[in-house]
Chains A and B, each alone.
Chain A
Amino acid sequence: MVGNPRRPLRVLIAKPGLDGHDRGAKVIVRALRDAGFEVIYTGIRQTPDMIAATALQEDVDAVGLSLLSGAHMTLFPQIVEGLRRRGLGSVLVFGGGIIPDEDVPRLQAAGVDRVFGPGTPLRSIAEYLKEKLASKTVAR
């Protein structure tokens, strides 16, 4: 069989934590879809286990975490750990929401590749993903 020369990239956008606002997450979902990504969205109040299990079943290239409630310092590392436990250490993890600058280095040390602040232009998130995942668009 002829291999697919290029497949769409798959991204899971997940909202861990207890805050009930997902407008921001949905805006990102739409922007990424319009930039050519297949975006899986699972709604609010996702536990780290649900997020990692979903990333596994959906075989995504990246997981984007959106959080407003301030629990990122515990939740983000737990999610990275959950992914690693499932053999998904190579899945790109990025985050966004309301995250103080001083927390960013520690999140990066924990395995979150990049943290986007509230004012980030949506296009730059799509560009970041395309650049980071460029090697994956070629068939597996």
Chain B
Amino acid sequence: MARLVLSGDTGALARSLSLIIDESGEADVLIRSFFPKSGSAQKIGICGPPGAGKSTLTGRLVALYRKAGLKVGVLAVDPSSPISGGAFLGDRLRIQDHATDSGVFIRSLATRGMVGGVSHTIFGAIHALEAWGCDRIVVETVGTGQDEVVIARVADTVVYVTTPTMGDEIQAMKAGVMEVADLFVVNKADLSGAHKAISDLKTALGLGREAGCGGWQTPVLGISALSGQGLPELLAGLDEHARHLRDSGEGRERLKRQYREEVSLYVSRRVYQDALSQMDSHLDELVDHKSDPPSVAARMLRGGAN
């Protein structure tokens, strides 16, 4: 199946993604075959508050990249309900124009209880999309506090989307977000207040960091994902950032950061899963004071390490 994916087969990609995301036994073998292509696509993370227009913007970017003849993958992440475990995956609604385009592959993902929607499986999904031949991969994530920072560990280029009506939110924006975003977008610039939002953001950025890190000046762009206004400038900014990553060596650093995250998530998941699967058998010992928590933990870790 890996060979089919590498030859561009869409059905094989769809099945592979499921095997990876469901943590099936075949996932490791697939990822091993996909990995030679890792690092070949620009991975663009799109984050921001709910309703900011992330999916609408993603649809626009897909259209522009397609016009340029590029193959595009989209991973749209939405939260799973902590109560039912179910999820409403609605991002596709705004990207659906591209549903039948054979150069676009869109997969909706539920967070399934993973912190910030990021687990080692999302890295695996990216490997699969790169193996299928994507030139660009857009990852849209739920935009609450912690998550916006987490996406930076997955993406090469992070776009933070906000809107004029979220002025207060800009004021209160956490330092983490300011540092992590490579491009800021004030979407819905067709609504009033966009100029003020842009200048507020620029001021906040100016205060936040001196002359950017590694020579990258974080741009603040006003766009309307609805009308398409400002989209060419955003596209140019994204390409420019890709060039910056390539020329400055920062791209290599980011790849390292991504692999570090992927491997450590994999290790912690596995150690955790293996160790905790033995938990129940130890609880009686603890209640009866036949052992103590540190000793039980040490034994569980030894058991899980092999």
- The verdict on A58 contacting chain B, using a C-beta distance below 8 Å, is yes
Return the CB mask of A1-21 against B: 1 if under 8 Å, else 0.
Answer: 111100110000000000000
Given A54-B99, A58-B108, do A4 and B270 touch, yes or no (CB 8 Å)?
A: no
Of B86, B92, B112, the contact of A33 (CB 8 Å cutoff): B86
Cβ-defined contact, A32 with B86, below 8 A: yes
Pairwise interchain contact A56-B14, C-beta atoms closer than 8 A: yes
- Whether the pair A33, B23 counts as a contact (CB closer than 8 A) is no
A29 interface hit (Cβ, 8 Å): yes
- 1/0 per residue A34-50: CB within 8 Å of B? 11111111110011011
> Across the two chains, which residue of chain A brings its CB closest to B14?
A59
Complex-state Cα separation, A46 to B92, whole angstroms = 12
A43 to B99, CA, bound (A): 12
* Interface size band for B: 35 or more
Does A84 lie at the interface of the complex (its beta carbon under 8 Å from any beta carbon of B)? no
Known: A3-B25, A42-B92. A56 touches B10 (CB 8 A): yes
Shortest C-beta distance, B16 to chain A (Å), equals 9
Complex-state Cα separation, A31 to B106, whole angstroms = 24
Complex CA gap A50/B100 in Å reads 6
- Asked whether B87 lies within 8 Å of A33 as measured between CB atoms, the reply is yes
The residues of A that contact B28 with a CB separation of less than 8 Å are 1
Report whether B85 and A34 are in contact in the complex, using a CB–CB cutoff of 8 Å: no
Query: Quick check: A53 and B100 within 8 Å, CB to CB?
Result: yes
Residues of A within 8 A of B270 (CB): 1-2
| Cα distance A86–B100 in the bound complex, in angstroms | 12
**Least Cβ–Cβ distance between A24 and chain B, in angstroms:** 16
Interchain CB contact (< 8 A) of A36 among B84, B106, B277: B84
* A7 CB contacts on chain B under 8 angstroms: 22
In the bound complex, how far is the Cα of B218 from the Cα of A4, in angstroms?
A: 41
- Contacting residues of chain A (37-96) with chain B, CB-CB under 8 angstroms: 37-43, 46-47, 49-50, 53-54, 56-59, 86-87
Q: Which residues of A contact B80 (CB under 8 A)?
A: 8, 38
* Contact A33 B108, beta carbon cutoff 8 Å: no
Bitwise interface map of B from 144 to 178 toward A, beta carbon under 8 Å scored 1, else 0: 00000000000000000000000000000000000
Ranked nearest first, the 7 interchain pairs of A and B with the lowest CB-CB distance are: A33-B86, A50-B99, A43-B93, A36-B86, A59-B18, A4-B23, A7-B22
Supply 23 A–B pairs (Cβ within 8 Å), ascending by A: A1-B23, A3-B24, A8-B80, A8-B110, A33-B87, A34-B83, A34-B84, A36-B84, A38-B86, A39-B87, A39-B88, A46-B96, A53-B99, A53-B100, A56-B11, A57-B99, A57-B106, A58-B106, A59-B107, A139-B23, A139-B25, A140-B19, A140-B22
